[in-house]
Amino acid sequence: MIRRWLRKVFRREDPAGGMPIDPETLGQMVRGILSTRPDEIGCDECFEQLDRFVELTLAGKDAAEAMPLVQDHLNRCHDCREEFEALLLALKAVA
């Protein structure tokens, strides 16, 4: 669907003029639309909150409900999920 939309936009670059479209800018825009939602957090933010998330998990609390954005990120980001699991194991080991 996006691809069809792109083709449509590019085809609009007619010699008659109009707004010139920078393909690179357009690509970045589309990637942005595809990969983020307004309420999403990134790896940095996830990492900052991860220790608290792990603490809640270890305390037997519903960390996913308390910090849904972190849970959401962990569902999508393999790196952060590994980080989470490693942290969880480490804290369990010293608990």
Q: Using CB under 5 A as the criterion, which residues of the chain lie in contact with Zn ion when the complex forms?
A: 43, 77, 80
6 or 77: CB nearest Zn ion: 77
40 versus 62: smaller Cβ distance to Zn ion:
40
Smallest gap from residue 56 Cβ to Zn ion (A): 18
Query: Cα(12)–Cα(8) distance, rounded to whole angstroms?
Result: 6
- Residue 51 C-beta: closest distance to Zn ion, Å: 15
Angle at 89 between CA 94 and CA 60, to 5 degrees: 85
Identity of the residue, 13 or 82, whose beta carbon is nearer to Zn ion in the bound complex: 82
Please, what is the minimum distance in Å from the beta carbon of residue 43 to Zn ion?
3
Answer for the pair 84, 78: CB distance below 8 angstroms, yes or no.
Answer: no
**Cα→Cα distances 65→26, 69, 71, Å:** 36, 9, 8
